[in-house]
Structure 1
Amino acid sequence: MSVLQKARRFVWGDIPESKAEQRLLLKIDWFILSYCCLMYFTNYLDRSNVSNAYVSGMKEELNMYGNQFNTINTIFTCGYIVGMIPNNLMLQVVSPRIWLPSMQIIWGVLTFCTSAVTNVQQIFAIRFFQGVVESSTFVGTHYILGSWYKPGELGKRSGIFTSSGLAGTLFSGLLQAAVYQNLNGSSGRSGWRWLFIIDGVITLPIALYGFLMFPDVPATTRAAYLSEEERLLASDRLKSEKTKVFTHGTPTWDLVRRVLSKWRWYACSLLFAVSGEVESLGSNNLMGQWLKAIGGYTVEQIDYYPSGMTAFAIVSTLVCATWTDSTRSRARWPVLVYMSISCIIASICILVWSSPIGLKFFAYYLAGASYAGQATTFAWANQICADDDQERAVVLASMNMWNNVINAWWPLVFYPATDAPKFTKGMWAMIGTCIVTLLVTWLVWYLERRERRGKLATEEAHDDGKSMKSQLSEKVHSRESLVL
């Protein structure tokens, strides 16, 4: 392999085996990643806008007090939990090209509604239903990615997808600052209200693009830009990676037995239930709350400065995803080790309150490494469950569901807005979460390795049995020849 080929393989995954596969990969990269990334971008733009609106005037205008900001996030999370598994199972019944953009239209309309609220109770109601529909995006896309891409291609595509959500967070802070400067008070609306209007305007055209161009999954795709040969190749190229036991289709009750009788659902759900909480420093906008609480910073600075954490999160996610795909073993666990150690260091720096302001900036930015584990964990689960599409759909949804079950109360206990600026409880909780993440990562690695060894032993025994039958058949045939 030439240096150029090695570089290309490192950056973009395994080299296609033929020109036809190369053309197919270019097409699905363009149409799948473009829509999924734009969809997730608006998803995270919406989520982050609530945090940015809170520190940009919404708190004062709606007379919010105590932990009502945390309550908004908790109610959204409850809706997210309710919608998680139903949304992913609906992708087995309704065409993803119809279901995903439909959910996007609904949350776009609800985003418009947020711009007109007059009290925090209205936000509570809107955010619950937004949680229900937005839960279709994250695990739904990971299911789609696992349906189209090989293990050596999957990590960096998952990383690009995750980074698009982080880009939404990054853009939200910049957008809020620009809106506050240029539109605050325009037509009698506050800057934070204009933020939700602009967010809705961005969301709806992307949903229309999904209706027109999204290719569904290989088993059901009717995309006009794919030839019949390319549709067959899309399915065949994944069969060489792992034989499918159950493929995309309407679920039956046997699915419950298959899921609950294996270790995969339990271990993968536990892994992201724990490791997902490592993202708490970013998902709760602790840096923005810290800057607002200590004073001395303008609204624009409070919106801009946390973007450094998001930028580092994007870089960490893409570098780690690229590295895991480039390794021959497709090892995912080192990323979770890197993430956990980075966040332990960040938490210690923040806990030492007498440390310089510059060190705290460094700590919050370093905590952006927490997002690197997200793409890797779901790529790992896709890889583990590659032999059963239906089980994979449930496992991916359950991972995010159980994480959000914890996330529904976790910020209220460990990161209440009233704890700003120090968040002492939260930093100790972060250190504990990172340690547990390391332990569960080892558990999943061990169970996957044990399952792989068991399958190899079974295949070898099967091959030996075939060989013995073949030898016996040859002996019988030889004796019959001598008799004749």
Structure 2
Amino acid sequence: MIKDANSITQNEVEGEPTTPKRPVNRRFLLFKIDLFVLSFVCLQYWINYVDRVGFTNAYISGMKEDLNMVGNDLTLSNTVFTIGYIVGMIPNNLILLCIPPRIWLSFCTLAWGLLTLGMYRVTSFKQICAIRFFQALFESCTFSGTHFILGSWYKEEELPIRSAIFTGSGLVGSMFSGFMQTSIFTHLNGQNGLAGWRWLFIIDFCITLPIAIYGFIFFPGLPDQTSAANRLSMTKYIFTEQELHYARRRLPARDESTKLGWSTVPRILKRWHWWMFSLVWVLGGENLGFASNSTFALWLQNQKYTLSQRNNYPSGIFAVGIVSTLCSAVYISKFPKARHWHVSAFISLIMIIVAILIRTNPLEPKIFFSAQYLGGVAYAGQAVFFSWANIVCHADLQERAIVLASMNMFSGAVNAWWSILFYSADMVPKFEKGCYALLATAISSGVVSVVIRSLQIKENLAKKSVPYIDANDIFGEEEDDENQDEYEGENASVEFGDEEMTEVPNPFR
């Protein structure tokens, strides 16, 4: 028999005498989540992109000539990386359900850092492909894994901004990598007999190592799957048990009966979430083609721009990506009538313009520069689509992990051959096929977003909320801390308000 929720206290659940409890300070809790959860995943994604973009910067800064790379070697090495990324995507997200994310994400960061260090010793194209494949296996934990973790800590109205900050951190890493390569080439090229591009990989590792250590010590993982008991973790000193339980309870109720097993597959496949979100990010990911496949750097090299210009000019794309990502997050979070599909439609329109501009006159610098920088708007799709999937799939933990991983996995699977067909190095400088491909994905992604929105409305109208009591959620507080300094013993019980017990989703959100 379940005891009345209004009379259950934390101490009674633990079998101890009832004692007064101070309420959880909501604002301070959110601040700590941002400080220790968001900070690590952003640092991890930042160095991820420093490492990833650093490879292209190394290629155009002397690696191509030193290793006698020819033809489509750059494109092929990126394809090998993509294959490793695809292979590791879903397994990494499922591992996060079994191994504390603090341990697994920190280990993966260290692993790809060591592999990055190994790049400074390569002497052949085959060695590059081998290292890039295993780098991708470990790096694939980052993007979709982080969105899964963010969805476990943040409420719907908090998620777009945090997703945007996370996505922006990767773009900052992309910008930083170009400037760092330029500085390294200027000051370290030839030092100790090493070319400047080799020094880039050494310095990347030196930055990656402390981030992995920071995550292992300070990153708390998931609110209901923390490793606070581990003596090497600072979680127990950063968050109280009451705060961790409240962090879980403040989110919408989810089905606690679902487990990871063979029943997970049919459960997910019979819903539209997996199919439609995977499709929309395949299309949205290819909208990023002109940026993610280094077409600007290759074009600049083809047009005989200087080394510093080849490394620095593409940074403008990432700057546009940061601004557009943050603006889209503010729009979705702060405007009552804002919807995710609005941003998707805007991105589609911009990418159509980009395709038309490049197809019109790809040899005119003003047109090509304008088109490339406008193309940075497509980066906003990362935060928009993944936060959207987080919200729609929140009620099923295993489905959410698999859907987020599948979105990135299928996007990578398509990009593995898409980049060879439409954005290979031998298509510089016109990228004629790429323009038509971009036009098709831009239009299609907008249409699919509208379909997802209609399915979401239909699903929300059909939902029936049920009372929800879970052992993990019986701790916490219900009153505003700003207006209450002391917590009276007679009010120490947990109060389940009507809005938490029987919340009916707004069908128009």
Q: TM-score, normalised by structure 1?
A: 0.88
Look up the match of 2:291: 282
Listed one character per residue, the Cα deviations across residues 4-31 of structure 1 (whole Å, up to 9, x for unaligned) are xxxxxxxxxxxxxx97111110000010
- The match for 2:411 is 403
Deviations 1:353-376 (A, max 9, x none): 277422221111111001001111
Classify 1:262/1:28 alpha carbon distance in 2 versus 1 (closer, same or farther; 3 Å): same
> Are positions 1:272 and 2:281 aligned together?
yes
Give me the whole-angstrom Cα distance separating, in 1, the residues matched to 2:374 and 2:453: 26
Aligned residue type for 1:77:
T
RMSD between aligned alpha carbons? 1.5
Q: Where do residues 93-104 of structure 1 align in structure 2 (5 Å cutoff)?
A: 93-104=98-109
Question: What residue is the counterpart of 1:414 in the other structure?
Answer: 422
Q: Report percent identity of matched pairs.
A: 47
CA shift for structure 1 position 329: 5.2
Aligned partner of 2:97 among 89, 92, 99: 92
Give the C-alpha shift of residue 137 in structure 1: 0.6
- Local SS of the residue matching 2:220: coil
Q: How far apart, in 2, do the equivalents of 1:127 and 1:354 lie?
A: 31
Deviations 1:139-168 (A, max 9, x none): 110000000000000001000000101111
Q: 2:193 aligns with which of 188, 191, 201?
A: 188
Aligned: 1:235 with 2:248: yes
Question: Which of 252, 263, 271 in structure 1 is aligned with 2:261?
Answer: 252
Counterpart of 1:214 in structure 2 is: 219
Once the 2 structures are TM-superposed, how far is the Cα of residue 377 of structure 1 from its aligned partner? Answer: 0.3
Deviation per residue, 1:430-483 (Å, 9 max, x gap): 111101111111111111111111226x88xxxxxxxxxxxxxxxxxxxxxxxx
Which stretches in structure 2 are left out of the alignment for 5+ residues? 1-22, 229-234, 467-509
Cross-structure match for 1:312: 320
- Partner Cα distance (1:194, 1:282) in 2: 25
Equivalent positions of 1:120-269 (< 5 A) are 120-221=125-226, 222=228, 223-224=235-236, 225-238=238-251, 241=252, 243-246=253-256, 251-269=260-278
Q: Does 1:331 align with 2:339?
A: yes
Amino acid at match of 2:410: W
Structure that is richer in helix per residue: 1
Q: Secondary structure at the match of 1:338?
A: helix
> Letter of the aligned partner of 1:245 in structure 2?
D
CA deviations over 1:371-391 (Å, ceiling 9, x no partner): 001111000000000111111
Deviations 1:372-431 (A, max 9, x none): 011110000000001111110010001101001101111100001011111111111111
- Segments ≥4 residues shifted beyond 6 Å: none
Question: Helix, strand or coil: the match of 1:215?
Answer: coil
Per-residue CA distance 1:96-116 (angstroms, 9 max, x = gap)? 010000011110000000111
- Contact between 2:363 and 2:430, CA under 8 Å: does it hold in 1? no
In the alignment, the residues of structure 2 paired with residue 339 and residue 352 of structure 1 have an alpha-carbon distance, to the nearest angstrom, of: 20
Partner of 2:399: 391
- Assess if the C-alpha contact under 8 Å between 1:151 and 1:330 holds in 2: no
In structure 2, the partner of 1:445 is 453
In 1, Cα distance between equivalents of 2:368 and 2:221: 45
> 8 Å contact 1:282–1:367 — kept in the other structure?
yes
Please tell me whether the aligned partners of residues 178 and 312 of structure 2 are also in contact (alpha carbons under 8 angstroms): yes
CA contact (8 A) 2:390 2:400 kept: yes
State the distance in 2 between where 1:123 and 1:443 align. Answer: 42
Aligned length: 436
- Give me the whole-angstrom Cα distance separating, in 1, the residues matched to 2:221 and 2:432: 46
Q: Note the alpha carbon deviations across 1:161-184, whole angstroms, 9 max, x for none.
A: 001011110101111111111111
Would the aligned equivalents of 2:301 and 2:310 in 1 still touch at CA under 8 Å? Answer: yes
Aligned-pair distance for 1:232? Answer: 1.7
Q: 2:362·2:368 contact (CA, 8 Å) conserved in 1?
A: no
TM-superposition CA deviations, 1:212-239 (whole Å, max 9, x none): 011111112222211122112101101x
Range that drifts further, 228-237 or 22-31: 228-237
Instruction: For 1:403 and 1:208, locate their aligned partners in 2 and report how far apart those are by CA, in whole Å.
Output: 31
Query: What is the identity, as a one-letter code, of the residue corresponding to 1:275?
Result: G
TM-score by length of 2: 0.84
Inter-partner Cα distance in structure 2 for 1:265 and 1:250: 17
1:380 aligns with one of 381, 388, 413: 388
Q: Quick check: 76-85 or 178-187, which moved more?
A: 178-187
Note if contact 2:363-2:429 (Cα within 8 Å) is conserved in structure 1. Answer: no
Matches within 5 A, 1:19-30: 20-30=25-35
- Secondary structure of residue in 2 paired with 1:93: coil
* Separation in structure 1 between the aligned mates of residue 334 and residue 375 of structure 2, nearest angstrom: 25
CA distance, structure 1, for counterparts of residue 34 and residue 269 of structure 2? 34
User: Which stretches in structure 1 are left out of the alignment for 5+ residues?
Assistant: 1-17, 460-484
CA distance in 2: counterparts of 1:354 and 1:188, whole angstroms: 40
Q: Find the residue that maps to 2:96 and give its secondary structure.
A: helix
